[in-house]
Amino acid sequence: MKIAVEGCAHGELEKIYECIETVQAREGIKIDLLICCGDFQSVRNHEDLKVMAVPDKYLDMCTFYKYYSGEKRAPILTIFIGGNHEASNYLQELPYGGWVAPNIYYLGRAGVVKFGDLRIGGLSGIYKGQDYLQGHWECLPYSQSSMRTVYHVRSVDVFRLSQLKEKVHVMLSHDWPRGITDHGDTRMLIKYKPFLREDIESNQLGSVPAMKLLHTLKPDYWFAAHLHCQYAALVEHDGGETKFLALDKCLPKRKHLQILDIPPEFDGDMCLKYDEEWLAILKNTNHLLTVKNVNVHLPGPGGNERYDFSPTEQEKAKVLEILGSVIISDESFVRTAPVHNRSMFKCPPTVPILNPQTVSLCKKLGIDDPVQVVMARSGREMKEPCADSGSIYKDQVPTQFMQTPHKPAKMSLQLPEPVTPRQSEATPRIVTPASTSMSRSLDSTFEYKTPMSGGPKKTFKRRNLSIYNTPGDESNSTETSSLLDTDSPMYSKLPYRRSHE
């Protein structure tokens, strides 16, 4: 099994898929799964653009809408988590995950699925301490405040993930676990991203709950994005270790794609499936869900109420009985909003929609949809999707919505010439040569290929310019590096900091 892991997608699906197809042709391999670490931007139409918390001049339809409308089909099964640049109105329809387009699956606010025998977990959003203990109170229409708080990580989702007892092999988050820079080459990171120094030295960089989950779940791999740079670290646990890798955004000369080589014993049926332990946890903790805009503390040791909701074998068996089949088929995908029309700059305002995927799962498990609860508390009702959402308002579009279509700028991403990596005797290796047998254990394999290089330099004019244009880009025009290859200027001398040091 080979998995491609993408950093920040930022809506550039066509470019990412083209990149993967080129890698497959060049390397003579087949990628079985694509995982994206947030800022996916599943924008269906111009109304979705309005709820993205970015300056207007950076709002761009990009290419997801083609896969939503059916104009194109994702050539590879794609799984993603949410970040802080998302069409939150759409993702709120699927709090427990679901298909956002055929062959493209969202993990939900938090979630765990299986691909073959590989367990993949994820935590969407970014961490903000002031909102962490609140309920899921946000709902359309968003205010300028709720447009941002809606993607902030909440304690109930972290609490649910912490109940997992079975092994999670791959874990995803958008922002980095706080303190992860203690386990990698911090000096080189600060040289590459100087503005991070203050947050690193004051231990304010990253997500507190994400690091807590890393030590609780002890996954083999943890992938993240958000800060638009590549960074590797190794966190040791009793009896194991977690290999952490942050990836860049989809731009030329950036290290945004990782090829993960998984041993064949994890192949299984190579299908996407529900995880019965996770669904049982959702069922067991449904009463802890709150939609109040106040801090709510979850149960823990020392109290007089239950705080361990890890499911029993009987509870997991009950979930399997309820589901009937654990296969997650994209036949359940339903368009719930108008597709993008190039002759329309705008479309009628969106309202909270009952997504049939969420309705079905909630009914089977006996759990609540947070948005539906919010709507009910305010005396409103969610709308049913039309039979053909691709033609919603088709004959009733007001003339003020008919304007010149927005044309996104083209971006060229090219492949560099391969560079032969050099082995560093002083550097602990995670990379496994392609010729090595695949019968090894999961945590022994970590092969990296950087397919992007060349192309025109993209110029950004924004307040956080340093996040997007990093000093040294000009010198990396022909980079192809393994995770710890000596050819990589960023990781040529990466001393993994052991816990006993």
- Per-domain residue ranges of the chain: 2-476
Are β-strands 78-80 and 33-36 bridged in parallel, bridged antiparallel, or unpaired?
parallel
Euclidean distance between the first and final Cα of the chain, in Å? 35
- Distance, in Å, from the CA atom of 478 to the CA atom of 481, rounded to the nearest integer, reads 10
415/21 Cα distance (integer angstroms): 11
468-483 pLDDT, tens per residue?
343 444 333 323 333 3
**Residue 217 pLDDT level (bands cut at 50, 70, 90):** very high
Instruction: Show the tokens assigned to 423.
Output: 């082995």
Q: What is the pLDDT of residue 435?
A: 29
The region of weakest confidence among 81-85, 284-288, 346-350 is 346-350
Give the three-state DSSP class for 66: helix
Record the pTM.
Answer: 0.80
Q: Which CATH class is domain 2-476?
A: alpha beta
Q: What is the C-alpha to C-alpha distance for residues 122 and 130, in angstroms, rounded to an integer?
A: 22
Q: Is pLDDT of 269 > 70?
A: yes
Per-residue confidence at 337, pLDDT binned at 50, 70, 90?
Answer: very high
pLDDT tens for each residue of 103-161: 999 999 999 999 999 999 999 999 999 999 999 999 999 999 999 999 999 999 999 99
**pLDDT tens digit string along 183-211?**
999 999 999 999 999 999 999 999 999 99
